[in-house]
Amino acid sequence: MNPIDEGSAIERCKNGDREAFGLIVQKYMKPAYYVALGYVGRPDDALDISQDAFINAFRHIKRFDSSKSFFPWFYSILKNLCMNHINRSRRRKEDSIDEMVEEEGQSRIPVETVNPEQGAVQRDLEIKIGTALQRLRPKEREIIILQHFQDYSYQEIADLLGVPIGTVMSRLYSARRALRRELERMGVRY
Amino acid sequence: MSCDTFKPLLMGYLDEELTALEAARVGQHLQECHECTTDLEDFRKLKEVTRNMRVVMPDDKYWDEYWSNIYNRLERKVGWILLSLGSIILSAYGLYWVIAEVFLGKNVPLVIQIGVGALVVGFCALLVSVLRERFFLSKSDKYERIKR
């Protein structure tokens, strides 16, 4: 969908056209999922939260200035929901020792190798990288997932997040440095 | 320019995202700066080790259902609002009708009037109490989400 189509789809959404909103959802559902995954770290939660964000966006679509790009506006809704989720999870962890133990055991971003010759060493590396990713701060995880693991260009990331390319580079620098540090701490040699 | 200025640009250099001019400037800096060269080499190794790795995508069926889930929830929300609105209107009218019949109607024994009055007042008191608890008290209940 080109920007002109997006603008007209948004205008139709403002008149309550849900089918037009479907076009917007189809275009942005995967970036929304990756951003949410970067924040909350769990695939199921990321799917739920990204869907909630689209529902909220549709409800408030009349407030959106359709001369601007949709995703940066949507991103602020999504980020708020993610932060609420993280805060709720933190409170829950404080309240429940059982859940804290359970989450410690399974906390890693699922990572896989494309066209793998899947050996035990590679599998172990995937697990370690997934665990290291999970230990990054949400903003670091977000940019690493988008650029490093999903191959979005700097321009695409800048457009998605509504930030300049310089910011993309500096965030990526500190995120990669943090990832490197985590991997070294886990004894990964490369 | 200091290394701090070049550090973020190392990312663009590594990912081949810089303009030719920027890349030339970074290349020149790298010839003079051992620290940034080592840094770049470490990032290159990190990129190499994670090459061909992807964050696992949800199955296609999740993406197929993604929009329909949103659509259904939007639709149901409207349905719930209409259902609630209809229920409130009908309940209010029913209540008005019962009260009018019982209290304004002729030949209704006093005991029935007292009984219905107590029922209505009791129901309203309970409703207000439950709503108050749901809307105000549960927000500050830190044990609300503990699994039992």
Q: B20 lies in a domain? A: yes
Q: Tens place of pLDDT for every residue, chain A, 190 residues?
A: 666 588 888 999 999 888 899 999 999 999 999 999 988 888 899 999 999 999 999 999 999 988 888 998 999 999 999 999 988 887 776 666 555 444 544 567 888 777 656 677 778 888 888 899 989 998 898 899 888 888 889 999 998 888 999 999 999 999 999 999 999 998 887 7
Q: Which of A17, A40, A51, A186 would best serve as a mutation to test chain B binding (most B beta carbons within 10 A)?
A: A51
Q: B32 lies in a domain? A: yes
Cβ separation of B55 and A114 shorter than 8 Å? no
Query: From CA A182, how far away is CA A19, in angstroms rounded?
Result: 44
Contact A157, A143 (CB under 8 A): yes
The pLDDT value given to residue A104: 45
What 3-state DSSP class applies to A107?
A: coil
Query: From CA A172, how far away is CA B47, in angstroms rounded?
Result: 12
Residues of A in contact with B11 (CB under 8 A): 169, 172-173, 176
Cβ separation of B53 and A37 shorter than 8 Å? no
What sign results for the dihedral spanned by CA atoms A118, A119, A122, A126?
A: positive
**How many Å from the N-terminal Cα to the C-terminal Cα in chain B?**
60
What sign results for the dihedral spanned by CA atoms A123, A129, A132, A136?
A: negative
The total of structural domains in chain B comes to 1
Count Cβ–Cβ pairs < 8 Å, chain A vs chain B: 111
Q: B7 lies in a domain? A: yes
Cβ separation of A129 and B53 shorter than 8 Å? yes
Contact B12, B43 (CB under 8 A): no
Query: From CA B103, how far away is CA B98, in angstroms rounded?
Result: 8
Query: From CA A139, how far away is CA A159, in angstroms rounded?
Result: 16
Query: From CA B46, how far away is CA B53, in angstroms rounded?
Result: 12
CB atoms within 10 A of CB A47: 21
The pLDDT value given to residue B122: 93
Name the residue with higher pLDDT: A158 or B144: A158
The pLDDT value given to residue B1: 67
pLDDT per residue as tens digits for the range B48-83? 888 778 888 888 888 989 999 999 988 888 888 899
Contact A53, A77 (CB under 8 A): yes
Query: From CA A13, how far away is CA A123, in angstroms rounded?
Result: 45
CATH architecture of A120-190: Orthogonal Bundle (1.10)
Residues of A in contact with B16 (CB under 8 A): none
Contact A134, A107 (CB under 8 A): yes
| Lowest-confidence segment of B22-26, B87-91, B133-137 by average pLDDT | B133-137
Angle at A152 between CA A148 and CA A158, to 5 degrees: 110
Residue in A43, A109, A173 closest to B7 by CB: A173
Cβ separation of B43 and A99 shorter than 8 Å? no
Q: Is A12 on the interface with B (CB under 8 A)?
A: no
Among the listed residues B8, B18, B48, B60, the one whose alpha carbon sits nearest the alpha carbon of residue A148: B48
Q: Which amino acid type is present at position A86?
A: I
Residues of B in contact with A147 (CB under 8 A): 15
**Chain B: closest CA distance from residue A67 (Å):** 24
**Chain B: closest CA distance from residue A22 (Å):** 6
Per the structure, the complete domain to which residue B27 belongs is given by 3-49
ipTM of the complex: 0.76
The pLDDT value given to residue A101: 45
Cβ separation of B147 and A51 shorter than 8 Å? no
**Chain B: closest CA distance from residue A121 (Å):** 12
**Chain A: closest CA distance from residue B129 (Å):** 26
Token pair for B55 = 């964050």
Q: B35 lies in a domain? A: yes
| The CATH number of domain A1-107 is 1.20.120.160 | no
**Chain A: closest CA distance from residue B27 (Å):** 17
Q: Is A66 on the interface with B (CB under 8 A)?
A: no
Long-range contacts of A11-16 (CB under 8 A, 24+ apart): A11/A66, A13/A58, A13/A61, A14/A61, A14/A62, A14/A64, A14/A66
Q: Is B111 on the interface with A (CB under 8 A)?
A: no
Token pair for A107 = 């906390």
Q: B72 lies in a domain? A: no
CB atoms within 10 A of CB A11: 13
Residues of B in contact with A127 (CB under 8 A): none
Q: B137 lies in a domain? A: no
